[in-house]
Chain A
Amino acid sequence: MKKLITALLSVGLLLTGVAQAELDNPGGIGGVESLRGASELEATRAADDFKKFPRDQVLDSEYVYQPPLVPHTIRSYEVSLNANKCLACHSWKNAKEMGATKISVTHYVNREDAVLADVSPRRYFCLQCHVPQAEAKPLVENEFKPVDSLR
């Protein structure tokens, strides 16, 4: 008898627990808001507009050793195993004629610190470090200030 009561009670407790959990969980994002605004998981929010890349802009460095940003649009500039459109202007061979900035001498050094005659393979994919900047406001406040020497 005692055993039966305990069994019944535990089953009852389990059921109320499940019911309780169901009531507590309203589903969706549970009222949590992301930086991009509230949107239910079940709903597909309309995509934001694309950010525009200015055709030409001046972008200063913010910290020492920062890879310089790309100050122009790079739409359909191919950087692949076959071709590197960046180097068509910025390589040491072409920079003078094109009036472009030369890539830094650090790009000619391989990981063993040996100086090579051409761009080091580890520096070939420009867009790993150098990126164009869109006109986009930061999502979180940022109090970063460049060092005195760069101000």
Chain B
Amino acid sequence: MKLLKAFWKRLAAPSKAAVGVVLFMGFAGGLLFWGAFNTGMEATNSEEFCSGCHAPIVQEIQETIHYSNRSGVRAICSDCHVPHEWTDKIVRKVQASKELFAYFVLDTIGTEEKFKERRAHLAEREWARFKNNDSLECRNCHQFDFMDFSEQSPRSAKQHSTALASGEKTCVDCHKGIAHKLPDMHGVEGWQ
């Protein structure tokens, strides 16, 4: 109690240190905090971090064009599943805390069977997210304005120049399962 009181007094009373020193301390502290915070954020965006829980899904991408291709440009989990904009990123990270609860406490995808059962739910959530933000994470790399329809096959050029151009459809409406195996697609629009 005595210690607490002393601490409070210290906080309440003006410091005897020079204003410059106090300012410098605040500045340095802020710098350290911000650096640590951002490093933490970066760490939770790395592939190794994702595989900690989602190892089987992270493995699936290896057969796809987003992992291995002729030019060697590749996407990692966070490129598609975490917004790049800072505020949106924080919002998504906070939402993810609920997913941590589901993983660690409810153990929803702990075994392969549980994961298979849950897969459709997980996929649908992600599809809905992409639909809501107009496939923003796709468009971070695949920019519509720079698509050369003459380089596309006639069928894709037709669909991109009509439905996608008018905003009637967004990337994820047709491009599902491009980096993962699909859940049961019966009843999903545009599938068998």
Q: Which A residues have a C-beta under 8 Å from some C-beta of B? A: 55-56, 72, 75-76, 78, 80-84, 87-88, 91, 93-94, 98-100, 119
Contact = CB atoms under 8 A, between A and B. Distances in A.
B190 interface: yes
Given A76-B64, A82-B183, 7 more contacts: A78-B177, A80-B181, A83-B177, A84-B185, A87-B191, A98-B155, A100-B155
Nearest to B63: A76
A88 B192 contact: yes
Contact of A80 (B65, B153, B182, B190): B182
Contact of A56 (B153, B178, B183, B192): B153
Counting contact residues on chain B (CB < 8 A from A), the size range is 10 to 19
B24 to A, nearest CB: 56
A82 B158 CA distance: 28
B184 interface: yes
- Scoring A56, A72, A83 by chain B CB atoms within 10 A of each residue's CB, the highest score goes to A83
A81 B119 CA distance: 14
A23 to B, nearest CB: 50
Given A83-B191, A87-B191, A119-B192, A75 B65 contact: yes
